[in-house]
Amino acid sequence: MFAPTILGALLLPLVGAVSVSVNRTTSSSSLHTWWHSTGEYNTQTPVLDGNVRQSGNYSVQVSTSSNTSDPSNYYDSFVYETIPRNGMGNIINPLEPTVLSTNGDGITIEAAIGMTMAWTSFLYSEDVSVKISRLDGGSTAASNVIIHPTTLDYAKTEVNGDLYITVPYNSRGVRFSVEFTDNLYEFHSNCAISCTVGGLVQNTNPSGESYWQGPFDGGNPVVGIEPLNSLLIFASPFPAPDMVPEQTSPTSLVVEPGLVTDVHTTDKTTVIFNPGVYWLSSVAHLALSSSVDWVYFAPGAYVKGAVSFNTAAPTMKATGHGVLSGEQYVYQANIEAGYCNEQSNQNGLRMWSGVSSDDQQTFILNGVTINAPPFNSMDFTGNLATLSTQVSDYKQVGAFFGQTDGLENYAGSTVQDVFYHSNDDTIKTYYSDVTIERVTVWKGTTAPTVQFGWASLTLENVRVADVDIIHSRYPSNGSHPSLVGLNQLYSQPDETDPYTADVANHVRNVTFANFRSEGISGGLFRICPLETFDSFLMENFWIEEFSPAVTAIAQSELPQFFDAARKDPVGVSGFVVKDFTVFANKTAVTQDAGNWAVGSLGNMNIAPMYISSGGVTIV
């Protein structure tokens, strides 16, 4: 969509400028905004330790008044920014920042085209007006603005070059993207080379990665459309009292802004980060002492690090509306290898990790925003059968790297009101008795939105509902590009080998409901049935637009699999696709309509015996 001359102007370096420290914020019972005096405008390099990357594209103010004519009613809300690789380049050793690598890190053209992601957060208890100013001089006319999810029909007006959005109060908060049509970028795939292992390509920056000489043609289909410079709004309700620790308690450690050095030796139970900037360096993280069971990130706290719990307490907490940022780490930072980029599922640094005890434990995660995860965002070790999570009002941004999964949802977990920017398995359902509701997803290039594969599992009593996928950009037909996926065995790279199931395991009473996929999308499902299916429901799914046919991305797959040992076929019964619709007019896909199979509207490649036996029905 961008002409080369326009994109070239947008790619002009913005390095090192520090924003003004003077600001006007508010802290009342109806609205709480915050600011950082060390904001740094910089889209090219890492920011200083004590600085916070600030958007040079947008400024935001918020008011509880709808009077747009009186600027005194509006209060500043800091606009954070995150960029691909955090300005470090593709490096292996964080202590050798000038030594670049060609190893894949999940980032293709994002850095080359100058992608940025900005966000602002505030607390509110009544309707507010959000004022957005474009610092790049772009149009703020209401007709130039799209809000995602598009179901949020918020009033928009333009006054004197500024955009005003009325955001009604929601007790669960709201998380949405504000997009300008003159800032949208079309992502092209190189399917002219291979639609199985293709990637994104760009033809505007000759010195950048994945440069495609010459104009795009039919072999370079558009596989996604996103803002080049995105802006997210996170409006959160005020936290419950039990989510905010007592500052003066003798069991609280209030950390001083700056380099963090003492959380691994403290005998306190609660670690508090008040407003300010904190960092650990690129070769350290918050390895909490065994006494610590609560970490609090106050609104306005910005902590550059990752958290590891080491407590046997029955409850672990990470709460508050501050930010935990992985921006100082390299991709796949391996703790045991000096935090270098060395792939390890065991030692890769997670933003949230810990060791679960043999006694029941609950990890409560509320309010926090994480930025720039270097790897999977969460994994605990130990006895995972005794661990569950309670997640609410959680946000993940800046997940440009590959393998930036969503949270783990252990048995008995509840997850509500989450925003994920994710470049791998996003909503993980590997465990039973899990409820996940109201999730907004900005999908990258890899893996399905919902993942319940990689091993043969017994999975019961799982419900995932009310999911809005606002963007996705799958460049190829690899890695199960779909809304719902059950990937092949992790140890089996050949997903076409059907003799890998274990029929002793089963999927039962699993429901995925009320999914909306806006814009260009992957297919409905890619399922390798590694276990017996009994009572599996996909209900009320909508896909606005399939990926172009040349990519084969839109095709759903449910092949026949067999038990690895006994060679018995996997039984599939009670597998129901109900109320699946596509396109803006929501055309229904059903067996009765005869439009479900490959080559027709639904484009589902389902093993014939599952259809003929009635094991799979599409109604």
Q: Which residues are known catalytic residues?
A: 405, 424
H helices of 192-329, in order, are none
Q: Assign residue 479 a region: left if phi > 0, alpha if psi is -120 to 50, beta otherwise? A: left
Encoded tokens for 106:
């999940």
Asked whether the beta carbons of 278 and 284 are under 8 A apart, the reply is no
Amino acid, res. 458: T
The sign of the CA dihedral 255, 260, 261, 264 is positive
What are the backbone angles phi and psi of residue 234, rounded to the nearest 5°? -115, 105
Asked whether the beta carbons of 473 and 200 are under 8 A apart, the reply is yes
CA-wise closest residue to 368 among 421, 287, 300, 434? 300
Residue reference for tokens 């270098």: 340
| Gap between the Cα atoms of 395 and 607, Å rounded | 38
| Gap between the Cα atoms of 379 and 345, Å rounded | 10
CA-wise closest residue to 365 among 391, 395, 387? 391
| Gap between the Cα atoms of 349 and 371, Å rounded | 14
Encoded tokens for 476:
């190829």
CA-wise closest residue to 340 among 330, 349, 351, 350? 330
| Gap between the Cα atoms of 367 and 344, Å rounded | 29
| Gap between the Cα atoms of 406 and 175, Å rounded | 16
Angle formed at CA 476 by CA 203 and CA 8, multiple of 5 degrees: 20
Bond from prior residue into 559 cis (ω within 30 degrees of 0): no
| Gap between the Cα atoms of 353 and 309, Å rounded | 6
Looking at 332-448, which runs of residues are DSSP E strands?
333-334, 340-341, 352-356, 361-366, 369-371, 378-382, 387-397, 414-422, 427-428, 434-443
Asked whether the beta carbons of 119 and 440 are under 8 A apart, the reply is no
Q: How does strand 128-134 pair with strand 162-167?
A: antiparallel
| Gap between the Cα atoms of 446 and 200, Å rounded | 12
CA-wise closest residue to 449 among 435, 467, 430? 467
